[in-house]
């Protein structure tokens, strides 16, 4: 997050806005890159470890073939919607970066499927560590100043992803002991057929998670759209960083849920524990950032559209509560194979997001897109909780619901109180976080003894 922010401050909101719109545009078509193979493979390997050696070579070959198709379709689509030569060059390199990123995610799914969580955790940050070190050096050398500054940032990503992919590939190869490029048509069709529901879900969720800046850049007049996209990126950046907490949790939960469901173990205690921990943290982060949005934006972007990005940021961070809920219950439903339900939910979310964006961007620009995103995230999260409750027949835990309500009210009150303190805002924020942590224990949301018992049992 810090490196990304520093680069935007160097290249400017308009230049970064174009990059951010292209990044999200290239993300929309990643259904072709992955086709649901990563989620399918994660669940499959978790339930059948021996399939890693059998399927690895064929799946890598299939991923390479899908990458070629993805690059071609992405470039053709870019031409059709009117991108010029300069943006097409950026789109080509960003498309290659997306392939590397999704290839890394696929290889990590093998580690998660084998329950090698320690190794997976280390490699999950490898590309970011490399990028941070490389970009820090480039910032010191003033590489990003100038009209082509943003391109150097994209090149740095390419190097980081490529090196990480090579390292993780070697780790997986040591587990399989064999590899040979072999595109088996019959096997590929079988995998694509099984992965299709996962692919549809990926496509639909990508649209309502990533279409915002693409629509901002395309719908608003030239120049205005670039800047508004950059302002949205400023507000979105911290949400994207905090999402890593929920994303990594979901990466571990999918194989665990899959194995528990296979052996008919009750998932309810784990769902309850993860919900209290992850949603409790999400409530503190979301509400805390809502109250301290202006201060955080002034710290991150002292010279660029602080007030505008602060308004967007406050709404987007509230949606982190909904995003965390989706990572818990969406992962549970994925592990159980309830793809039809998830796809109906995601299709509804996509349609709602497109309609709201079309109406609100014209009137409120980037702020309208933030309203659309928050609304969509909360509605889809609620739907997933209802679906999971009905399918798994969870008993409605009124005590837990009331505890969450009481905890949320308390967090709001603590934030109000902390804003009235006469200290530096950073100290006020730290006091707020500590008080919220204590309130989680006092209110009964977090039970330390239960956590230790669960960990000892695990």
Give the H/E segment covering residue 278: none
Query: What is the extent of the structural domain holding 353?
Result: 2-395
**What sections of 263-365 are H helices per DSSP?**
268-274, 280-291, 293-300, 306-335, 339-364
| 361 occurs within a structural domain | yes
Instruction: Find the mean pLDDT for residues 64-78.
Output: 91
Nearest to 60 by CA among 102, 95, 94: 102
Instruction: Find the mean pLDDT for residues 192-206.
Output: 78
CA 62, 63, 66, 71 torsion: positive or negative? negative
Instruction: Find the mean pLDDT for residues 37-42.
Output: 69
> How high is the pLDDT of residue 97?
93
CA 334 vs. chain centroid, Å, equals 16
Residues 444 and 403 sit within 8 Å (Cβ to Cβ):
yes
Q: How confident is the model at residue 435 (pLDDT cuts 50, 70, 90)?
A: very high
State phi, psi for 248 to the nearest 5 degrees.
-65, -35
Q: Which two tokens stand for residue 14?
A: 């308009």
Half-sphere exposure of 456 (CA within 13 A, CB side): 6
d(CA 136, CA 372): 35
Residues 94 and 22 sit within 8 Å (Cβ to Cβ):
yes
221: DSSP letter: P
Look at 11-15, 39-43, 62-66, 146-150 and tell me which has the smallest mean pLDDT. 39-43
Residue 56 has pLDDT above 90, yes or no: no
> How high is the pLDDT of residue 45?
62
Secondary structure string (H, E, C) spanning 162-186: HHHHHHHHHHHHHHHCCCCCCCCHH
| 377 occurs within a structural domain | yes
Residue 178 has pLDDT above 80, yes or no: no
| 347 occurs within a structural domain | yes
Residues 150 and 16 sit within 8 Å (Cβ to Cβ):
yes
Residues 236 and 216 sit within 8 Å (Cβ to Cβ):
no
| 59 occurs within a structural domain | yes
Sorted by sequence, the CB contacts under 8 Å of residue 211 that are 6+ apart come out as 24, 28, 350, 353, 354, 357
Residue 455 has pLDDT above 60, yes or no: no
> How high is the pLDDT of residue 173?
80
> How high is the pLDDT of residue 23?
85
d(CA 436, CA 282): 12
Q: How confident is the model at residue 51 (pLDDT cuts 50, 70, 90)?
A: low
Residue 10 has pLDDT above 60, yes or no: yes
How many Cβ atoms sit within 10 Å of the Cβ of residue 11? 24
Look at 43-47, 200-204, 330-334 and tell me which has the smallest mean pLDDT. 43-47
CA 13, 18, 23, 25 torsion: positive or negative? positive
Instruction: Find the mean pLDDT for residues 352-360.
Output: 93
Q: Which two tokens stand for residue 27?
A: 């993300």
Half-sphere exposure of 317 (CA within 13 A, CB side): 27
d(CA 155, CA 412): 43
Distances in Å between the Cα of 351 and the Cα atoms of 209, 248, 346, 357 are 12, 28, 9, 10
Q: Which two tokens stand for residue 285?
A: 């982060």
Q: Which two tokens stand for residue 222?
A: 């030239």
**What sections of 177-292 are H helices per DSSP?**
185-219, 224-262, 268-274, 280-291
Residue 200 has pLDDT above 90, yes or no: no
> How high is the pLDDT of residue 63?
84
How many structural domains does the chain have?
1
Q: How confident is the model at residue 401 (pLDDT cuts 50, 70, 90)?
A: very high
Q: How confident is the model at residue 414 (pLDDT cuts 50, 70, 90)?
A: very high
Model confidence pLDDT, tens digit, residues 100-141: 988 888 887 777 666 676 777 777 788 888 998 998 888 888
> How high is the pLDDT of residue 410?
97
| 432 occurs within a structural domain | no
Q: How confident is the model at residue 42 (pLDDT cuts 50, 70, 90)?
A: low
Residue 284 has pLDDT above 90, yes or no: yes
| 224 occurs within a structural domain | yes
CA Rg, the chain, in Å?
22
> How high is the pLDDT of residue 374?
94
Model confidence pLDDT, tens digit, residues 250-281: 777 888 888 888 888 889 988 988 889 899 99
- Tokens 């320690």 -> residue: 118
Residue 426 has pLDDT above 90, yes or no: yes
Distances in Å between the Cα of 315 and the Cα atoms of 5, 305, 308, 366 are 19, 16, 12, 11
Query: Hey, is 224 helix, strand or coil?
Result: helix
Nearest to 115 by CA among 256, 275, 261: 256
Mean pLDDT of the chain, nearest integer: 85
| 416 occurs within a structural domain | no
Q: Which two tokens stand for residue 445?
A: 């949301």
pTM of the model: 0.75
Look at 81-85, 315-319, 390-394, 405-409 and tell me which has the smallest mean pLDDT. 81-85
| 414 occurs within a structural domain | no
Sorted by sequence, the CB contacts under 8 Å of residue 135 that are 6+ apart come out as 3, 6, 7, 153, 156
Distances in Å between the Cα of 24 and the Cα atoms of 380, 402, 451 are 20, 38, 38
Nearest to 148 by CA among 292, 12, 256: 12
Look at 31-45, 60-74, 412-426 and tell me which has the smallest mean pLDDT. 31-45
């Amino acid at each position: 997050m810090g490196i990304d922010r520093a680069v935007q401050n160097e290249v400017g909101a308009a230049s970064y806005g174009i990059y951010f719109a292209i990044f999200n545009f290239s993300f929309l078509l990643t259904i072709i890159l992955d086709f649901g193979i990563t989620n399918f493979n994660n669940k499959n390997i978790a339930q059948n470890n021996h399939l890693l050696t059998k399927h690895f070579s064929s799946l890598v070959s299939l991923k390479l073939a899908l990458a070629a198709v993805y690059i071609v379709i992405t470039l053709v689509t870019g031409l059709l919607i009117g991108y010029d030569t300069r943006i097409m060059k950026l789109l080509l390199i960003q498309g290659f970066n997306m392939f590397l990123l999704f290839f890394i995610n696929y290889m990590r799914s093998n580690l998660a499927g084998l329950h090698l969580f320690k190794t997976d955790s280390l490699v999950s940050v490898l590309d970011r560590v490399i990028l941070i070190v490389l970009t820090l050096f480039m910032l010191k050398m003033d590489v990003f100043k100038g009209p082509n500054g943003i391109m150097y940032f994209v090149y740095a990503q390419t190097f980081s992803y490529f090196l990480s992919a090579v390292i993780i590939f070697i780790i997986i190869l040591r587990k399989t002991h064999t590899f040979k490029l072999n595109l088996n048509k019959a096997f590929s069709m079988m995998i694509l057929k099984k992965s299709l529901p996962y692919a549809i879900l990926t496509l639909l969720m990508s649209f309502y998670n990533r279409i915002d800046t693409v629509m901002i850049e395309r719908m608003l007049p030239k120049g205005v759209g670039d800047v508004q996209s950059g302002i949205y990126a400023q507000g979105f950046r911290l949400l994207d960083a905090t999402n890593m907490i929920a994303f990594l949790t979901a990466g571990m939960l999918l194989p665990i849920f899959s194995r528990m469901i296979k052996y008919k173990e009750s998932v309810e205690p784990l769902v309850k524990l993860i919900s209290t921990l992850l949603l409790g943290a999400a409530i503190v982060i979301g509400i805390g950032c809502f109250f301290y949005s202006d201060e955080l934006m002034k710290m991150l972007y002292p010279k660029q559209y602080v007030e505008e990005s602060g308004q967007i940021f406050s709404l987007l961070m509230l949606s982190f509560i909904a995003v965390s809920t989706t990572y818990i219950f969406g992962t549970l439903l994925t592990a159980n194979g309830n793809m039809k339900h998830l796809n109906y939910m995601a299709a509804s979310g996509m349609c709602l997001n497109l309609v709201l964006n079309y109406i609100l961007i014209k009137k409120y620009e980037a702020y309208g897109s933030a309203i659309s995103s928050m609304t969509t995230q909360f509605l889809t999260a609620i739907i997933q909780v209802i679906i999971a409750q009905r399918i798994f027949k969870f008993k409605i835990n009124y005590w837990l619901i009331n505890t969450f309500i009481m905890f949320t009210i308390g967090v709001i009150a603590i934030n109000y109180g902390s804003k009235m303190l006469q200290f530096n805002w950073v100290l006020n924020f730290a006091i707020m976080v500590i008080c919220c942590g204590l309130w989680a224990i006092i209110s009964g949301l977090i039970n330390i003894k239960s956590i230790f018992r669960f960990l000892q049992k695990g």
